[in-house]
Structure 1
Amino acid sequence: MRLLCTSIAFLFVLLSPAASNISSSTKRRREEVVAHRGAVATDDGRCSKIGVDVLRIGGHAVDASVAASLCLGVVSPASSGIGGGAFMLLREANGKAQAFDMRETAPLKASMNMYAGNAALKATGALSVAVPGELAGLHKAWKQHGRLPWERLVKPAEILARKGFKISPYLRTQMESSKSAILADKGLRQVFTSNGELLQVGDICYNKKLAETLRKISIYGTKPFYNGSIGLNLVRDIQRAGGIMTLNDLKRYEVKMREPISANILGLKVLTMPPPSSGGVSMVLALNILTQYAVPSGLLGSLGIHRLIESLKHAFAVRMNLGDPEFVDVSKFVTDMISLEFAKKLKSTIYDNMTFGPNHYGGRWRWSQVHDHGTSHISIADSDQNAVSMTTTVNAYFGSKILSPSTGIVLNNEMDDFSMPINSSANMPPPAPPNFIRPGKKPLSSMTPTIVLKDEKLKGVVGASGGSNIIAATTEVFLNHFARGMDPLPSVMAPRVYHQLIPNVVMYENWTTVTGDHFEVSNSIRSDLQKKGHTLRGLAGGAISQFIVHKLEGRKGKGSSGELVAVSDPRKGGIPAGF
């Protein structure tokens, strides 16, 4: 499968004048806004604005997340939507934190050997579709915290789907990479083509069926989707395409409330998502290793990048012992991954002059891995300092490559995030039994929604899209700002390297984005890494980060929450909004 976005971020801007190549200045760019009452950062400016409009009229951060995520499902359907799932991390102004697990689940008819070793069936088509959870999770969060009427939050997305929206440059790129799949699927073809050709950048795209679906949802809530006409039509479309999902799967879907992971790093309280996300604990493990070096001096230059790569390889070695905590006891792995003592043991195995093969990493836990794909991320802070960090996904570009013709919903291919009992190879990790398929089970994810506090006051909201590389992207944006002292925009714009342990290759950014920015790691850094034994390969892609920083010394006043600096990653053409 192709990654929607991929990532391992790092602070190359501070390394040397030649360490990075970004064609545009990071000053006075539309990807950064300064606000005082509320801010929303998404990977599409239309959705950021919709979220901020909700905040302006007194909406809670959760209200804004509902409106913004439903918008993304319309204008960025290759990445997310109500046919997929999400994780939402909420930290209220009163100090209470919640983790909403709205991850998709395996259908009740699913089984460990259902694909008979055929990875293609797991990756695309009706058998790759897991039971969607995003809508159930959004509605549950809204019922607990929402201030505005549900219909008000759904309506903007419905209008976009009905009246049409312009194809963005990034969506057009996703469409081109999925061209054959779009042309092969009736539902996708009806929405994203005209006269047999893909729509172009700036063309108006209509999804009238999705608009009607959203209209019903705006009036009746989740019932039509999980136990009504929408669900019946959705299941019928899936079964006609060869899938196994039933209406009973939708009826049984349940959002799980989980206790956020909490860690103290550099004097900051870091809140992040617990399993079935592997992202939060993996990020904490990498940060715990890295912050044992002198900060920031021990993390600069090519040596700092080498240490980053080695820390991430350790995190990836341990992460695939994780799985859905409803099915697998992950407590001992989580305990180790957030333990400073465990991090110290792993740091002692990092050598500054060399790297190793995969078997070297993970300490006492064996290594294994699964590749997941891409996503959308939303970071929100409201005027009361309630904060939401939410990552939402349909997995690969256009998920299963099926758009339900009767509902207009792009269906996820989240079953591809499960591991299969098949033989491994040098470029293919071994099976990961904790992540094998079982009916009702949630596949492991890398999504890493994160909220940062200082003395129990909001300091940052961060997350990323880009599959398993989300872990590194979020780690690096955190380090760039909170450890290195970089401003928010340069923290996001720093060129990145990528490593996921298997294959044992460092991927480095070398590409020009839809905004015209060129990201490239310098030759000198690449040369230094090669001398340490790293194998490098250029990558025309990058993780997509959304970052909000709360400056506690910002301007005060009625309704003010200090100064909020919101950044959307230019790699996808996103624009934040604030007021």
Structure 2
Amino acid sequence: MKRRTIFSLVITVIVVVILLAVATLAWAGNIPSEGSTAATQRSGAVVANGAECAEIGARILRLNGSAADAAIATLFCEGVTCPQSMGLGGGFLLTIYDHQNRTVETLNARETAPAASERSMLSAAKARGDDTRGLTVAVPGELKGYWELHQRYGKLEWATLVQPTVELCERGHLVTPYLSRILQRVEQQLYAEPSMREVFINPATNRTWQEGDTIKRMRLAESLRIVAKEGVDTLYSRNGTLLRMLMKDLKAFGSIIKEEDFLNYRPRWEAPDTVELKSGVEVHSITIPGSGTIQNFMLRVLDGYEDMAPKDPLTWHRIVESMKFAYGLRTRIGDPVYTPEARGVIQNLTDPQFASYVREQLIDDEQTHNDFAYYGAKFADVEDKGTAHVCVLAPNGDAVSATSTINYLLGAKIRSQSTGIILNDEMDDFSTPGTVNTYGLPASPANFITPQKIPLSSMTPTIVTDANGTVRMVLGGAGGSRITSATAVMIFRHFVFGDDLNAIMSEKRLHHQLAPMWLDYEAGFDQSILDGLTKKGHQVKEKDLMLDLRRPPESCRMAR
């Protein structure tokens, strides 16, 4: 028995999105790439959460827009049709691939802690019984990130990317079954808050809008017109039109965000975390404080095995153990710019030798362990909440994978009535000093609030390329902490085992995030594998993991 501690030392292009709700694929049709003939045409694709937004992205590709252009236009739209998950009041993580130059970059435009923030401010305010909604708002980075992306990779005029969503706001968007359920879940909170009531409560019924209803966002349409005309300066420069309006509302809600927080906001362009698998593909994803590095650590561990069979319980034991080590180490990390002490752990996560050490010395093929410390967990993890994901593949072979968030359902559940922007509650994703979770683990200092710091996130916008530089997969997801395990297993099964994606997506799934110390499985998961895992000491628990995976062309909407 190995008892040590973790610290003793487009052939076919697949565009995938892992979502709580159903993803919609819009094909842009056969679009000639620059300088190509009809014989060398490629198809572009856009995957989004709804038909309206996927169509907007596809339309941008048909106008010969870049992958970045299509992603920006789609994200603007998603901020309207998926208000529960994202919008201009939030932030995003993105991975982009430049096919011609064979380069990958990531863009971190996540929300940051205000300059006036203090690590214990939320717990102190709650102890006083204060309304903390305004305090939970972090400095939004969404619009600044779009602008940075467009400046570097855009082709079409900025206003062209904004205008379709202006029109959507004015004519209204349909309430999906998923959005309807979300609104019903938080109906009392929406009704009690005037800024949210005027958008999400039907005045004729005094209830939330229902499936099939249409929601118009007239105030947001006016703000987007200003964004189209003035660009990023409207929100991130002194005396910007939208900044002046938004600051008044933030102050009224009790936020500590100041004008200087917007003026000093800078998205981060960074190199990706890349792992090359034995099959020859390279997996490119976002670094910490995103979780692409956590995803790729799991792949580094699993790819080193030589004796793995898809239906063997031992294989799934190893997969689950890789999850437990990944999530255990995650409790020790935070934004490396503001958490120097976390850099050593991050270095280990990206080190192939450390992955080999975990695989060969720590993962026990005979049994699992129920000791948090064995897997490196010294602190409690904060579970982040909802997101929305967009995938784009352009006809020239470029690709974008982007995940955006305002954190919990409808963020802080407050809305700037002057601008129409729904505000995030991202400060709740930081750890709180002095707290201990139900498993006896204290809060992680690496994720404590620090001015301008970005909270830890489970988002994993990922692009997979082959040895020829062809995009083989674009993927990401929504669903909080389950994103990371779901994307890692999908990549591993497809590119290591060669499993068909339809089979992967139709089969039930497993998830283990270490705390709680049990293995979640979906009803219908292979019982022989579960029996084998139970024999190795895993505590299993049936749970609806609520992840829906879609790929073209089985469940898609055609846009030509």
Secondary structure in 1 matching 2:283: strand
Distance 1:438 1:83 in 2: 20
The aligned residue for residue 538 of structure 1 is 542
Secondary structure in 2 matching 1:410: coil
The aligned residue for residue 125 of structure 1 is 133
Matched residue type, 1:477? M
1:53 aligns with 2:59: yes
Matched residue type, 1:192? F
Name whichever of 402-411 and 530-539 sits farther off: 530-539
Secondary structure in 2 matching 1:37: strand
Paired residue for 1:446, among 455, 458, 472? 458
Matched residue type, 1:481? H
Name whichever of 164-173 and 110-119 sits farther off: 110-119
CA gap of 1:196–1:358, structure 2 versus 1, over 3 A, is: farther
8 Å CA contact retained: 1:182, 1:188:
yes
Deviations 1:219-262 (A, max 9, x none): 11112222323222222222212221122211211111111112
The aligned residue for residue 521 of structure 1 is 525
CA gap of 1:567–1:39, structure 2 versus 1, over 3 A, is: farther
Name whichever of 178-187 and 101-110 sits farther off: 178-187
Alignment of 1:86-485 (within 5 A): 86-93=92-99, 94-116=101-123, 125-194=133-202, 195-227=205-237, 228-266=240-278, 267-277=280-290, 279-294=291-306, 297=309, 299-329=310-340, 330-347=342-359, 348-362=361-375, 366=378, 368-427=380-439, 429-455=441-467, 456-485=469-498
Shift of the alpha carbon at 1:527? 4.1
Shift of the alpha carbon at 1:208? 1.1
The aligned residue for residue 15 of structure 1 is none
1:63 aligns with 2:76: no
Shift of the alpha carbon at 1:457? 2.3
CA gap of 1:124–1:167, structure 2 versus 1, over 3 A, is: farther
Matched residue type, 1:393? T
Shift of the alpha carbon at 1:334? 2.4
> Which sections of structure 1, spanning at least 5 residues, go unmatched?
1-28, 511-519, 548-564, 569-574
Matched residue type, 1:108? A
Distance 1:52 1:273 in 2: 25
8 Å CA contact retained: 2:25, 2:46:
no
> Which sections of structure 2, spanning at least 5 residues, go unmatched?
1-22, 31-41
Distance 2:282 2:257 in 1: 41
Shift of the alpha carbon at 1:109? 1.3
Distance 2:537 2:125 in 1: 34
8 Å CA contact retained: 1:504, 1:535:
yes
The aligned residue for residue 4 of structure 2 is none
Shift of the alpha carbon at 1:437? 0.4
Matched residue type, 1:59? G
Matched residue type, 2:173? F
8 Å CA contact retained: 1:379, 1:546:
no
8 Å CA contact retained: 1:276, 1:323:
yes
Secondary structure in 1 matching 2:354: helix
CA gap of 1:281–1:148, structure 2 versus 1, over 3 A, is: same
Deviations 1:98-119 (A, max 9, x none): 1111010001111111123677
CA gap of 1:424–1:230, structure 2 versus 1, over 3 A, is: same
Shift of the alpha carbon at 1:313? 0.7
Shift of the alpha carbon at 1:132? 0.5
Distance 2:109 2:414 in 1: 21
CA gap of 1:444–1:235, structure 2 versus 1, over 3 A, is: same
Distance 2:559 2:493 in 1: 23
Distance 2:498 2:480 in 1: 27
8 Å CA contact retained: 2:97, 2:463:
yes
Give the number of aligned pairs: 516
Secondary structure in 2 matching 1:464: coil
Distance 2:435 2:466 in 1: 47
Matched residue type, 2:337? E
Deviations 1:447-495 (A, max 9, x none): 1111111113221111111112211111122123212323334433432
Matched residue type, 2:227? I
Identify the structure with bigger relative contact order (alpha carbons < 8 Å, sequence gap 6+): 1
1:37 aligns with 2:49: no
Deviations 1:58-78 (A, max 9, x none): 010000000111110000110
Shift of the alpha carbon at 1:273? 0.6
Shift of the alpha carbon at 1:525? 4.1
Matched residue type, 1:193? I
Distance 1:134 1:89 in 2: 15
Matched residue type, 2:334? G
CA gap of 1:384–1:286, structure 2 versus 1, over 3 A, is: same
Paired residue for 1:505, among 512, 518, 541? 518
What TM-score comes out, normalization by structure 2 length? 0.86
8 Å CA contact retained: 1:188, 1:403:
yes
Distance 1:274 1:577 in 2: 34
Deviations 1:393-437 (A, max 9, x none): 111110111122222111111111111112324436421111110
CA gap of 1:576–1:434, structure 2 versus 1, over 3 A, is: farther
The aligned residue for residue 14 of structure 2 is none
Deviations 1:40-62 (A, max 9, x none): 11222221111111111101000
Q: Which one has the largest radius of gyration?
A: 2
Secondary structure in 1 matching 2:477: strand
8 Å CA contact retained: 1:105, 1:441:
yes
Deviations 1:82-109 (A, max 9, x none): 1100011111011122111101000111
CA gap of 1:494–1:47, structure 2 versus 1, over 3 A, is: farther
Deviations 1:295-345 (A, max 9, x none): 651x43443332222111100111232222221224422221122221122
Matched residue type, 1:224? T
CA gap of 1:117–1:539, structure 2 versus 1, over 3 A, is: farther
The aligned residue for residue 16 of structure 1 is none
Distance 1:152 1:49 in 2: 14
Deviations 1:169-190 (A, max 9, x none): 1111221222222222212211
Matched residue type, 1:319? R
